[in-house]
Amino acid sequence: MERPAWAPRSIDISVPSVSRIYDYYLGGSHNFEVDRQAARRAMEFMPGLPKIMQANRAFMRRAVRYAVGEGITQFLDIGSGIPTYGNVHEVAQAASPGARVVYVDHDPVAVAHSQAVLEGNADADVVAADLRKPQEILTSRQVEQLLDLDRPVVLLLVAILHFVEDADDPYTAVAELSAALAPGSLLVLTHASYEGIPLPPERAEGAVDVYKDIRNPLIMRSRDEIARFFEGYDMVEPGLVPMPLWRPETAPEDEDPYAFSGFAGVGRTS
């Protein structure tokens, strides 16, 4: 297999990657045949997967614009993936020039691309780190240089927590990150769930099994389990809802039924 110039030498291009599969669903070009095969296998069970990813991105952009409207211009995006059109820094800096963004990912491809995309952007950077080790993120040079944690920050955990197994204690990781945020900060979160998927659960399970096979298990949590991530936060209206229902800019009834899979919410620290 030919290794393209954009693929860091350190990565094994024969193993599928969650962030490259996501890139494929969003119509990006930074993925390999092995990623596309895994994506197509998952889509045999859940043909609407790209719609779910698009709904995630659309919610993220609305939440970023909401945050800027509330006067918050610092963003910490963990599990940020491969930069595709309409990333956090583009949306935030278009709404508020000088908005500061730190991306965090543990996928070398995502980090390498983010570095390339952000070159020359003094107000955005990327950290190679893992959500499961919050202190590594909080004490990183990039966070210390770009973000003032004594002022409100937007913590984005979009489509990432469902890749953290219960054994790795995602609740503690989120609580540790939240504890570092100033009052008035926002938590922006989406999470996969069997609730809302327009399919019988056993059929959706087929797609979940594909992620298990590539050693990136997809953990489907209930609405109540997802709500626990917001402990200590006041929910911003309309609360924890299917993605198209969070402050929609277009008529939700025009959305694809798959867009309602899983939940999205924004909470504010008091």
Using alpha carbons, select from 90, 145, 130, 137 the residue that is nearest to residue 114: 90
Tens digit of pLDDT per residue, the chain (270 long)?
Answer: 677 777 777 778 888 999 999 999 999 988 999 999 999 999 999 999 999 999 999 999 999 999 999 999 999 999 999 887 789 999 999 999 999 999 999 988 899 889 988 999 999 999 999 999 999 999 999 999 999 999 999 999 999 999 999 999 999 999 999 999 999 999 999 999 999 999 998 999 999 999 999 988 999 999 999 999 999 999 999 999 999 999 999 999 999 999 999 999 999 998
Look at the block and give the residue holding tokens 């110039």.
5
Q: How confident is the model at residue 86, as a pLDDT? A: 86
Task: Count Cβ atoms below 10 Å from residue 61 Cβ, excluding itself.
Answer: 18
Determine the straight-line distance between the first and last CA of the chain, rounded to whole angstroms. Answer: 52
Concatenate the DSSP letters of all residues of the chain into one string.
-PPPTTS-TTS-TTS--HHHHHHHHTT-S---HHHHHHHHHHHHH-TTHHHHHHHHHHHHHHHHHHHHHTT--EEEEET--S--SS-HHHHHHHHSTT-EEEEEES-HHHHHHHHHHHTT-TTEEEEE--TT-HHHHHTSHHHHHH--TTS--EEEEES-GGGS-GGG-HHHHHHHHHHTSPTT-EEEEEE--STT-SS-HHHHHHHHHHHHHTT-------HHHHHGGGTTEEEPTT-SB-GGGSS-SS-GGGS-GGGGSSEEEEEEE-
Q: How confident is the model at residue 147, as a pLDDT? A: 98
Q: How confident is the model at residue 1, as a pLDDT? A: 65
Q: How confident is the model at residue 173, as a pLDDT? A: 98
8 A C-beta contact, residue 102 and residue 75: yes
Euclidean distance between CA atoms 13 and 176, whole angstroms = 33
The structure's pTM equals 0.95
What type of residue is 183?
P
Euclidean distance between CA atoms 267 and 184, whole angstroms = 9
User: What is the set of domains in the chain, with CATH numbers?
Assistant: 18-269 (3.40.50.150)
- List residues bridging with 190 in a β-sheet: 158, 264
Q: How confident is the model at residue 238, as a pLDDT? A: 98
